[in-house]
Amino acid sequence: GQQLNQSPQSMFIQEGEDVSMNCTSSSIFNTWLWYKQEPGEGPVLLIALYKAGELTSNGRLTAQFGITRKDSFLNISASIPSDVGIYFCAGFQGGSEKLVFGKGTKLTVNP
């Protein structure tokens, strides 16, 4: 099945730095979701985006739905150690209720 192209695959940053990751697709998505997964846990929904161009924040997290509907990015400002985990982008196409996932971005924050 189709997967989203998520990059970077991994990031190693210092505490306090800002982080940016993105997802792209060759086809249009109607909804973009960003999840965070910690080891041994299920993904937790961080931000949901429903309209092209939409910019949404959740605390230090900001995500945008690309104008072309084929991409989305997630920014984390002033990272802290508890931000570590794997971040997944996911989206819905057309009338499908099946989520398409990216491969994830593993974030490591050094104190």
Partner 1 sequence: GAVVSQHPSWVICKSGTSVKIECRSLDFQATTMFWYRQFPKQSLMLMATSNEGSKATYEQGVEKDKFLINHASLTLSTLTVTSAHPEDSSFYICSARDTWTASYEQYFGPGTRLTVT
Binding residues (CB under 8 A) for partner 1: these are: 1, 3, 31, 33, 35, 40-45, 48, 50, 88, 92, 97-99, 101-104
Query: 65 or 101: whose CB is closer to partner 1?
Result: 101
What is the nearest approach in angstroms of partner 1 to the Cβ of residue 60? 21
Query: 60 or 103: whose CB is closer to partner 1?
Result: 103
What is the nearest approach in angstroms of partner 1 to the Cβ of residue 78? 27
Residue 1's SS3 state is coil
Residue 76's nearest CA partner among 41, 99, 105, 44 is 105
The token pair at 82 is 């508890």
Amino acid 32 reads W
Place of tokens 């961080």: 46
Query: 50 or 57: whose CB is closer to partner 1?
Result: 50
What is the nearest approach in angstroms of partner 1 to the Cβ of residue 25? 14
> Which stretch of DSSP H or E encloses residue 73?
strand 71-76
Query: 24 or 92: whose CB is closer to partner 1?
Result: 92
